[in-house]
Amino acid sequence: MPQTPTPTQAPSRDDIFSGVKPVEERHKLDEVKLAAWLDANVAGYEGPLEVFQFKGGQSNPTYRLDTPAKRYVLRRKPFGKLLPSAHAMDREFRVISALHKAGFPAPKTYGLCTDDGVIGAMFYVMEMVAGRIFWDPTLPTLAPAERRALYEAEVATLAQLHNYDPASIGLGDYGKPGNYFARQVERWSRQYRASETEKIEAMERLMEFLPRTVPAQERISVVHGDYRMDNMIFDAREPKVIAVLDWELSTLGDPLADFSYFLMGWLMPPATQGAGSSGLAGVNLKEMGIPTMEEATTLYCKLTNREGIPDLDWYSAFNMFRLTAILQGIAGRVRDGTAASTQATETIKRIGSLSDAALHFAIKAGA
């Protein structure tokens, strides 16, 4: 039996992020209008409806919709002022729908609502996938062999995504042509500037170095954009990914963007009390049964027919730069009162250390 945290025992990441809670006042929906929309647009829907809010997530508020026969998940844009191009629910809905149809573990979608008049923002509804979500990448409750199998399943699922020909699954126009990393550096520099709350010298140096040293792009695929353990659901009994979630940052691009971002898990320190993404730096991987960064890379290259991955220092610098820009966006939403998580204030405390780490890898790459 899992122990209930005592006053002297800090809550785990699972305690903080797992499950649902009553809907916060600032995130309440018009449940009467929502129920009417569900009745008219979701095949098989039958009320009455109860609405809860998921604890996890800091970008798009996400809700569990309970009915007597079935549960659904609703994701919507945040209310209030938003950055341009952010929180594109219609794009999320499109990519999830296409990938589910292609046989990838993405939830089944039921409907997209572009009418802000229903609940105050664009939203979509998808199936509620039942399984395991792990917020702590050290997987403390599992045996070493189970840990290795889950990490290998993560790598295999990402390779499956990258092996799709986007055009063959109806996503040939899902992203822009040209070098993905060049576009991403420009995008996140712009987003960072739009949310900037103070000048950070490391970010200034990164925004000078990264655009002029972008690696050549060899392949194009659907990229998830935020591929990490707590954005997926695992089967309750098997080491198998049954749903990949949070496609807000997905597009067409260089698959190495996804994989090198996934590798950040090995470079990031474990988080305290859920303050941002947690990592594996300093963990005894052999004792825990978790593959090393090199082993994960070897498996990914085998499954995607690659000989190796050069420029990892550059990719690491970029990914930490992008993470800093994302956290800065959360800081901007905290300032504006639109952040979706009570953990947001803790999360943004990592901006300084993360930008310094990004610069460290940039210097290793030649900055």
Question: Is the separation of the CB atoms in 65 and 125 below 8 Å?
Answer: yes
Mean pLDDT, the chain, rounded, equals: 88
Mean pLDDT of 328-337: 79
Residue with the bigger pLDDT between 201 and 57: it is 201
- Of 8-17, 48-57, 96-105, 215-224, the one with minimum mean pLDDT is 8-17
Percent of the chain with pLDDT over 90: 69
Domain 15-127 listed as CATH 3.30.465.10: no
How confident is residue 321, by pLDDT bands cut at 50, 70 and 90? very high
Q: Taking 90 as the threshold, does the pLDDT of residue 345 lie above it?
A: no
Alpha carbon distances (Å) from 108 to 95, 99, 136, 156, 314? 11, 9, 26, 21, 36
Q: Taking 80 as the threshold, does the pLDDT of residue 274 lie above it?
A: no
Residue with the bigger pLDDT between 292 and 273: it is 292
Q: pLDDT of 157-207, one tens digit each? A: 999 999 999 999 999 999 988 899 999 999 999 999 998 888 899 999 999
- Of 58-62, 150-154, 269-273, 329-333, the one with minimum mean pLDDT is 269-273
Mean pLDDT of 129-139: 93
Nearest to 206 by CA among 309, 310, 324: 324
| Cα gap 252→175, rounded to integer Å | 4
- Of 23-27, 63-67, 145-149, the one with minimum mean pLDDT is 23-27
Mean pLDDT of 96-115: 97
At residue 331, the pLDDT reads 81
Question: Is the separation of the CB atoms in 176 and 291 below 8 Å?
Answer: no
Mean pLDDT of 347-356: 84
Q: Taking 50 as the threshold, does the pLDDT of residue 284 lie above it?
A: yes
Q: Taking 90 as the threshold, does the pLDDT of residue 119 lie above it?
A: yes
Tokens representing 99? 């990938």
At residue 6, the pLDDT reads 44
At residue 19, the pLDDT reads 77
Question: Is the separation of the CB atoms in 298 and 350 below 8 Å?
Answer: no
At residue 336, the pLDDT reads 72
At residue 4, the pLDDT reads 45
Instruction: Return the residue matching tokens 């998580």.
Output: 341
Mean pLDDT of 126-142: 94
At residue 59, the pLDDT reads 65
At residue 271, the pLDDT reads 65
Helices (H), the chain: 13-17, 31-41, 89-102, 144-163, 180-195, 201-209, 255-267, 285-288, 293-303, 312-336, 344-347, 351-364
At residue 8, the pLDDT reads 46
Classify domain 144-364 at the CATH class level: alpha beta
| Cα gap 29→205, rounded to integer Å | 43
Mean pLDDT of 118-141: 94
Query: Rounded to two decimals, what is the model's pTM?
Result: 0.84
How confident is residue 142, by pLDDT bands cut at 50, 70 and 90? very high
| Cα gap 348→213, rounded to integer Å | 28
The domain locations on the chain are: 15-127, 144-364
At residue 56, the pLDDT reads 66
How confident is residue 344, by pLDDT bands cut at 50, 70 and 90? low
